Structure 1
Amino acid sequence: MKLIIGFFTAISLFIGFANAAVEITDNNGILQGYKDLDVNGTKYKVSFVDGNCSEVFGVCEASSFQFQNLPDASSATDALLGAISGTSFNDNPETINGCENEDNEEQCLFYTPYGIFNDNGTPSINLVAGQTDGTTNNTSNFGDLIISIADSQLSDVTDVVWAKWILDFDNGFINILPKRIKTRSKKPIAVAILGSQELNVMNIDVSSLMLGTAPVKKKRIIFKDINKDYIEDLIVYFTPKKSGIKKGDTEACLTGQLNSGELFSGCDSIVTTNKYRSYKKYKW
């Protein structure tokens, strides 16, 4: 049985919306995660990702986790179990990414970690357990099982699947221009991150921004209200050749983090082409 360890990091950008969580599945119907999953009024996007802690998150330390106490970690785990409960994934846990190759298993066991510091100052990562049960269609009392392990030990854990939680900037927060991208071009393309009442773009760690695998061009950073809503927006530039965008791709995604450490991502539609249309033709 594989462990699905949930890493939660987010910010309350979508408070007030009551949309149900949206399932993310692959072409084979395997559950990859959820969008718009509500945890105490905050919306999250979660993806199940293979790899060890360091590979998935870059840094594997108690301070890396969003939750620093049991109640918050339990609420997050409960929300994920609630989304799965009553669906075919609950009855057939092998259709959850990471558990699909587990023969003769009726449950998919997963954990939500939260970082704490012991009385002697030593950091550790505690895990709140949750499980699906294809036989009873019930979720477990996850609060009954608490596991504590050292940072160094967690880095060595391999045969697991992580639930990686990030803030989702879809639905118009990201605007890529030009839309027609020559994949091997060295000429930059622009990405605008639109500010709002909930998002202050000044709180974005610009150095963390990536378009695919392309790092941000740090010498071309512009703060400007481009959509005339009297709220500052952020314009940054990337080199298509370094982005990993391939011919035929219809979407490109930006990732990054806020100064407070919360991760986010956002995508926009594109068209790949052999003809380059200069970003200079677009006036923000």
Structure 2
Amino acid sequence: MKLISALRASIGALALAATAHASAGPILLVTDGILTGAKNVSVQGVLYDVTFLDGKCSTLFTGCNAVSDFAFATATGAQAASLALLDQVFVNGSRGQFDTRPQNTLGCSDNGVCISLVPYGLNQKGTTVWSAGASNAHQQSGDAASLISQNFSMDMASLASYNFAKFELSVAPAQVAVPEPTSIALVLLGIAGMTLARRRKS
């Protein structure tokens, strides 16, 4: 009976560990109190790493001259990424007040709002960059994700309340397959059954 109780406790612990690992949230990247990005941001079920950058689209996004330069190729995808920033990255917590203090995000010095642009395309002439913008206002009621167009040559470093959010597929350990708790439980129950069978024979 003691063996069975110990196995039940082990199964419960393993199930909790696997569940916690699978649902681990984003890891915020902070340098000297400034939010520079995050790892493991979930966008429509896919994990991305995001980096906040200041400068021109052409410098920051491999030329910024084709849809393939961006992590998202549609307005819907870019807007989902913007919502993920608002829900998972621009948050108040032990690492800092990144929701109510937008100026604590890299590239934003305006204490009213920080708008992180997620580019997804260009107009036919290549003169306009289409983006979704995550507007992180110091008041939560002002937070919003909307579609924004900007001039191709616009330098975000010259604007106090804008930056770019560069998304890349995450290669973090969180994406490594985790054995399902039920599989672990079946293996442990099998071992327990064999142990009990041996005890009964002896």
* Fold match (TM-score > 0.5): yes
d(CA) in 2 for partners of 1:158, 1:46: 19
- Please tell me whether the aligned partners of residues 69 and 116 of structure 1 are also in contact (alpha carbons under 8 angstroms): no
Which residue, 64, 76, 83 being the options, matches 2:88? Answer: 83
d(CA) in 2 for partners of 1:39, 1:148: 22
What is the number of equivalent residue pairs in this alignment?
146
The residue aligned with 1:44 is 48
Flag the 1:58–1:67 CA change in 2: closer, same or farther, 3 A: closer
Flag the 1:137–1:84 CA change in 2: closer, same or farther, 3 A: farther
Flag the 1:95–1:141 CA change in 2: closer, same or farther, 3 A: closer
Alignment of 1:124-273 (within 5 A): 125-134=129-138, 136-143=139-146, 146-149=147-150, 153-154=151-152, 156-160=153-157, 161-171=163-173
Q: CA RMSD in A?
A: 2.8
Shift of residue 56 of structure 1? 1.6
The residue aligned with 1:65 is 70
Which residue, 102, 122, 130 being the options, matches 1:93? Answer: 102
Q: Supply the AA of the counterpart residue of 2:154.
A: V
Structure with greater proportional strand content? 1
* Structure 2 residue 120 is the aligned partner of structure 1 residue 114: yes
d(CA) in 1 for partners of 2:90, 2:156: 25
Unaligned runs of 5+ in 1: 1-15, 174-195, 198-284
Q: Normalising to structure 2: TM-score of the pair?
A: 0.61
Q: Supply the AA of the counterpart residue of 2:143.
A: S
d(CA) in 2 for partners of 1:96, 1:172: 25
User: Which runs of at least 4 in structure 1 moved beyond 6 Å after TM superposition?
Assistant: none
Higher alpha-carbon Rg: 2
- Please tell me whether the aligned partners of residues 68 and 116 of structure 1 are also in contact (alpha carbons under 8 angstroms): no
Q: Normalising to structure 1: TM-score of the pair?
A: 0.45
Shift of residue 22 of structure 1? 0.8
Say which structure, 1 or 2, has more relative contact order (CA 8 Å, 6+ apart): 2
d(CA) in 2 for partners of 1:159, 1:116: 17
Shift of residue 35 of structure 1? 0.5
